[in-house]
Amino acid sequence: MIEKNPKAASLLPRGRVDSGVITIIHHDGTTGAAMIEAGISNADVFIAATGKDSLNGLAAQRAKTIFRIDEVMTAVKDEGARTLYDSLGITTINKTALASDELVKTLTTEES
Amino acid sequence: MYLVIVGGGKVGAPLASSLINEGHEVFVLDNNPDTVAHLQRELGMIATIGDATSVRALEHAGAARAGAIIATTNSDEDNLAACQLAKSNFDVPRTIAVAHSPENAELFDLTGVDLVVSATDLVLSNLATALPAHPLIRLMPIADRTQELVAIKLPAAGTAVGHTISGLRLPYGTKIVLIITADGHSKTPDADALIEAEDEIIALSPTNSTTELWELLTELR
C-alpha cells in the first residue's frame, strides 16, 4: 500500500499492519521510486485507486509501460477516461457506475 | 490554426498571448475561476473554467477542430491525461505537454505525447548557461533524445588545444557544428580548423557518448 497521507493510512486495519500483512509506504505513488520501494518488480497486480482519474492514469501507465506489470487496474470516474485506459490494456473500475447499477438492481427487485 | 491550451497560469497565459499575436485562434481551459477571469480581462473571451481531464470539457473547448493541444498545468498527471484524451476522443493531430519531473517526461514520450517539454531539462540548461565556468551545456535533445546538441568550453590548458578537428579522436557519430572563439567570433569547423584555448565547441553528439566527448575536450595537460 502506497499512501502519501499518514491520516488515510491510519484507517487501515491496525492488526494487519502490525502483523506485517499490510506494509505501508508513505510516498507519492505516481513515482517510480515509490513503486520500487513497494517491490513492484515482484508484483502480480498493480492497482491505482486514488480519487483522481489523471493521477490513477499516470501511475497505472508507469506500472504498465516502465515496470511491465501485466495486470494493472485503475479506478476512474470520467467515462471518456475509462475508454482511454481500457484501450491501453488497463482494467478500469467506475465506482459511480457500479453504485448506480447496484441501485437499479435493488429497485427492479423491489418492483417485482 | 485553432489551438487549445490547458492551464492559463505562468506558462499558459504568456503562451496564449504570443500565439494570438502570431495570428492563431486560441482557447484556454483552466479549472481555477480566478485565473480564467484574469485571462478574460487581459485577452478577451478566450478562456473558460473547465477540467481538461474530462472529455466533456475538452469537447466544450472545441478539441474536435483543434490543430493541437498544449498542456501547461503544474500537474504532470493532468497534462498527460488531457493530451491522451484529446488524441483518443477527438483525434487532435498534435499533442504537446509540459512534464515537470524528468521521469514523467520519459513516460510521456513512451505513452504517445507528440512533443514533451521537460521543465527540469530547461531549467538545468538555463542555469548551466548562467554559470560561465560550466564546461558542458546540453542545449537541445534531438531525434527522440538519442542525440543532443551540446556546448563544451575548452580549458586553456586542455590537451585538445593546438589540435585540428581531424586530429581529435571524436566519439563515433559526433559532429562538431560550430566553434565560438574566446572573443566571441565563430569559426567553421573544417577538418583543418585549429582548436584554440577557451574555444566553445558546439557539437551534435549521440546522447550516450556525450560524457566521453566532454572528457576528451576538457582533459588537462
**Topology given in CATH for the domain delimited by A6-111:** Rossmann fold (3.40.50)
Report the SS3 class of residue A13.
coil
Distance CA B80, CA B97 (A): 7
Find the closest chain A residue to B84 by CA distance.
Answer: A84
Contacts of B107 in chain A (CB under 8 A): 58, 61-62, 65-66
Cell numbers at residue B70, please? 498544449
| Predicted pLDDT at B131 | 65
Q: How many C-alpha atoms does B185 have within 13 Å on its Cβ side?
A: 5
| Predicted pLDDT at A108 | 84
**Sheet (strand B175-180) strand order:** B136-142, B147-153, B200-206, B175-180, B186-187
| Predicted pLDDT at A97 | 80
For residue A83, is pLDDT > 70?
yes
Average pLDDT, chain A: 90
Cell numbers at residue A19, please? 502483523
Average pLDDT over residues A1-17: 87
**Sheet (strand B25-30) strand order:** B47-49, B25-30, B2-6, B68-71, B95-99, B115-118
The residue assigned the cell 479549472 is: B31
| Predicted pLDDT at B1 | 93
The residues facing B152 across adjacent strands are B136, B201
Sketch out chain B's domains with CATH numbers: 2-122 (3.40.50.720), 133-218 (3.30.70.1450)
User: How far A7 CA sits from the closest chain B CA (Å)?
Assistant: 23
Report the SS3 class of residue A91.
strand
Distance CA B122, CA B141 (A): 11
| Predicted pLDDT at A42 | 93
What is the band of A102 on the pLDDT scale with cuts at 50, 70, 90?
Answer: confident
| Predicted pLDDT at B121 | 84
Query: How far apart are the two ends of chain A, measured CA to CA in Å?
Result: 43
| Predicted pLDDT at A92 | 95
Cβ–Cβ of B81/A54 closer than 8 Å? yes
What is the band of A90 on the pLDDT scale with cuts at 50, 70, 90?
Answer: very high
Q: Report CA dihedral (B42, B47, B51, B57) to the nearest 10 degrees.
A: 180
Confirm if A11 and A43 have CB atoms less than 8 A apart: no
* Residue ranges per structural domain of chain A: 6-111
Distance CA B139, CA B203 (A): 10
- Among B31, B55, B108, the strongest candidate for a mutation testing the A interface, having the largest count of A CBs within 10 A, is B55
Q: Which residues of chain B have pLDDT under 50?
A: none
| Predicted pLDDT at B12 | 95
What is the band of A112 on the pLDDT scale with cuts at 50, 70, 90?
Answer: low
Cell numbers at residue B2, please? 485553432
Q: How many C-alpha atoms does B179 have within 13 Å on its Cβ side?
A: 21
Cβ–Cβ of B76/A78 closer than 8 Å? no
| Residues in Cβ contact with B193 at an 8 Å cutoff, skipping those fewer than 6 apart | B164, B165, B179, B187
| Predicted pLDDT at B129 | 64
pLDDT in tens, A36-48: 999 999 999 999 9
| Element of type H or E holding B28 | strand B25-30
| Predicted pLDDT at B198 | 87
Asked if the C-beta of B53 comes within 8 angstroms of chain A's C-beta atoms, the answer is: yes
- Among B54, B56, B87, the strongest candidate for a mutation testing the A interface, having the largest count of A CBs within 10 A, is B54
pTM score, whole prediction:
0.75
Asked if the C-beta of B111 comes within 8 angstroms of chain A's C-beta atoms, the answer is: yes
| Predicted pLDDT at B133 | 62
Distance CA B13, CA B197 (A): 44
